[in-house]
Structure 1
Amino acid sequence: MKKKLALALAASMMLTMSLASCGSNDKPAASSGGAASSGGASSSMASDGLAPKDGGTSLTFSTGGDQGTYYGFGGVLAGKVSETTSTTVTAITSGGSQANVEALDMGDAQLGFVQTDVGAYAYNGTRLFEETGKVDNFSTVANLYVEQVQIVTLDESIKSVADLKGKNVSVGAAGSGVYYNAVDVLSAYGLDVEKDINPTYQSFGDSAESLQDGKIDAAFVVAGAPTTAITSLAASKPVYLVSLDDEHIDKLLADSPYYSKVTISKDAYNMPEDVTTVAVGAVVIARDDVSDADVYNFLYGIFENVDDITAAHAKGAELNLDFAASYEAVPYHPGAVAYFADKGITVNGK
């Protein structure tokens, strides 16, 4: 396809996308809700001459809770891919990483967000997937950004993870990867999630409400900071995040190498100081039977329109091709292999 033709097609994509998708499944607002700013022709053609693939289909993108980063950012990504390629993506809410793997396995979704650790659990049949068995009919599309382990509290006397002993603590929604992140962090401090704290199992939004109402003392939230639910809480009350010290971080990394040490800026929630914690990655996965063209288009829609995406959501600033190609636990989809190859990057594919 010649450049002029590609530019003309992309310029008209926003006008024709809704008509092109009328014959597919009904699309909730999330497919373009939180949609990125209009890129027009100038952002639809890559500077290195790449073009999206023809023959795209309609895909369902299973994200996360409606107050988490997965859903907000996923809606922006879905909107931009739909706007600039022949692939239409609809972002929907879900119960989180494990639920997304299960949705892909059952064919209820074609794309999904998953934490790097949960992706490894599924692919190898461990932890969350030990009883149900491994799920390996999916591939990696891209590692998009880091998800910090945020231990949120309104009680400024809770200074350390050790201070959580005997407290009422939300450890994430049932079926999410947050529970095992809580297990890992608490274990590094010699605490048992079932014996040494009073655990509750809540989504990010429910955790924020419980903190607001004084029903819990702290909550584990694993998502890109700032996270919508916590930002809303911080608008009405001072929010504190519990820092991890270097000694216990080193122990955690030795036991669980899929974590990395990170710093959350005090500006995230108007806190008194920066916070040290650990993070996992937020990976997009796809069913193996999703077409190469659709996966290629998903990556094209994101990485050829980073400026537009960043203008619509802060997480866009973290998009980086090298990081996107860095996940090693699950092989990459052939469509992703092709896109990265066109960018001069080699990834391990199926």
Structure 2
Amino acid sequence: MKTSVKAIVGTLFFLILAAGAAFAEDLGLITGGEKGTYYQFGLNLQELAKEKGINLSVYNSKGSIENIYAVFKRPRTQMGIVQSDVLAFVAKVRSNPVLARIAEKTKMVFPLYNEEVHLLGRQGIADFKDLAGKRVAVDREGSGTYLTANLLFEVSGVKPAEILTVGTDEALAQLKAGAVDAMFYVAGVPVKLFTEKVAAEDALALIPIRDKSIVEYYPEADIPANSYAWQPGAVPTVAVKAVLISYEFRGSNCDLVGRFAGILADNMDWLKANGHPKWKSVDLDYPLKGWEQYACVVKHIGKTTMTAPQEPSEPNPVLDAVKEMLKP
């Protein structure tokens, strides 16, 4: 009987250890809203990882500001996708010790693609400058769109009558109802929300962004003609770079992130053929100024692995710093 009990205990102990080891093999990727390009990229990577026998968890979020802090702070959230201007902003705010630490510990896995600034509004708004005195939705406070839109207003000197911090779905509903005049959405073309939820009869249009003061800070881009069924001509705008980042781990997570990066690099042809259209414009070797590639990625270029969190219950110092910077 004692031998039997010992055997059972030994078996349970082995199973617990095995379960723990399997759990430790998971990676987490925090992305963005379910209608955005980040989340679609995450799902593509999850499918690829599954084919390789890896458990990849993909978390949705408010966006880049939430993501950069989540990678730094939250358990089982080793990687995230963020906008390059959010990374640059964090790196510049050196007076805040938490942000300085985040900047020190945040490393680039790969640069991904250009994210076009979509400015959708009523057809009577001809240019970015026409937003002066208008009601404009800039997405929720945790998003990269929120930061970028406010920075565009800051550098251009354009002052809307009201800036609304509502999610993109709500913003689009209010735009259709005439409650707001325009909305921002920073994401790679095509944006699922605008593909599925906007039609010609809505009488909305993409608004050009070509303000001289803006293009001094942001690279110029175009939203190609017919990117959306209701958009016949190309629209000039600006862009930021989407970046896959990781915390600078030194233990087993270093190996996991490195192996995952290798799988991504080795399967770009599959991602371009089966994933979101933006995979076709991804350049993993793009020299992103000021950001160093994670040493664990450089070491492993060639292998595997990859799941996320709840709303943060604690203050986010990245968001606090952004809000402080944007105070009138």
Please indicate, yes or no, whether the TM-score normalized by the shorter chain is above 0.5: yes
Is 2:241 aligned against 1:278? no
Pair 211,300 (structure 1): closer, same or farther in 2 beyond 3 Å: same
Q: Is the 8 A contact 1:184 1:252 kept in 2?
A: no
For residue 219 of structure 2, the aligned residue among 252, 257, 260 is 260
Letter in 2 for 1:300: G
Residue number in structure 1 paired with 2:143: 176
Distance 2:288 2:50 in 1: 25
Query: Does residue 133 of structure 2 align to residue 166 of structure 1?
Result: yes
Deviates more, 1:168-177 or 1:86-95: 86-95
Q: Does 1:297 align with 2:259?
A: yes
Q: Is the 8 A contact 1:233 1:239 kept in 2?
A: no
Structure whose alpha-carbon radius of gyration is higher = 2
Residues 259 and 301 in structure 2, CA contact (< 8 A), matched pair in contact too = no
Is residue 2:279 matched to residue 1:313? no
Out of 322, 336, 342, the residue aligned to residue 297 of structure 2 is: 336
Q: Give the secondary-structure state (helix, strand or coil) at the position aligned to 2:285.
A: helix
Q: Which residue of 1 aligns with 2:99?
A: 133
- Which residue, 58, 62, 87 being the options, matches 2:30? 62
Counterpart CA distance in 2 for 1:139 and 1:189 is 31
Q: Which has the higher contact order (CA 8 A, sep 6+)?
A: 2
Partners of 2:91 and 2:151 in 1: CA distance: 19
Which has the larger helix fraction? 2
- For the structure 1 residues 82 and 341, does the alpha-carbon distance in structure 2 shift closer, same or farther, using more than 3 Å as the test? closer
Contact in 2 for aligned 1:295/1:333 (Cα 8 Å): no
Q: Any idea what the Cα deviations from partners look like across 1:8-36, whole Å, max 9, x if unmatched?
A: xxxxxxxxxxxx999756xxxxxxxxxxx
Question: Which residue number in structure 2 is paired with residue 220 of structure 1?
Answer: 184
Uncovered stretches (5+) of structure 1, i.e. residues with no partner: 1-19, 26-55, 343-350
Q: Are 2:205 and 1:240 aligned?
A: yes
Q: CA deviation at 1:306?
A: 2.1
Identity %: 27
Alignment of 1:177-192 (within 5 A): 177-192=144-159
1:168 CA displacement? 1.4
- Once the two structures are superposed, residues 217-259 of structure 1 have per-residue CA deviations (whole angstroms, 9 ceiling, x without a partner) of 11010011111111122246344111123xx24x2243x3xx2
The verdict on how the C-alpha distance between 1:21 and 1:112 changes in structure 2, with shifts beyond 3 A counting, is farther
Report the counterpart of residue 11 of structure 2 in structure 1: none
RMSD: 2.7
1:72 Cα offset (Å): 1.2
Alignment of 1:113-152 (within 5 A): 113-125=81-93, 133-134=99-100, 135=102, 136-152=104-120
Q: Which residue of 2 aligns with 1:211?
A: 175
Q: Counterpart amino acid of 1:298?
A: F
Q: Secondary structure at the match of 1:146?
A: strand
How far, CA to CA, are the matches of 1:293 and 1:181 in structure 2? 33
TM-score using structure 1 length: 0.72
Letter in 1 for 2:40: G
Q: Is 1:101–1:122's contact at 8 Å kept on the other side of the alignment? A: no
My pick for the range that moved more, 270-279 or 305-314, is 305-314
Secondary structure at 2:62 match in 1: coil
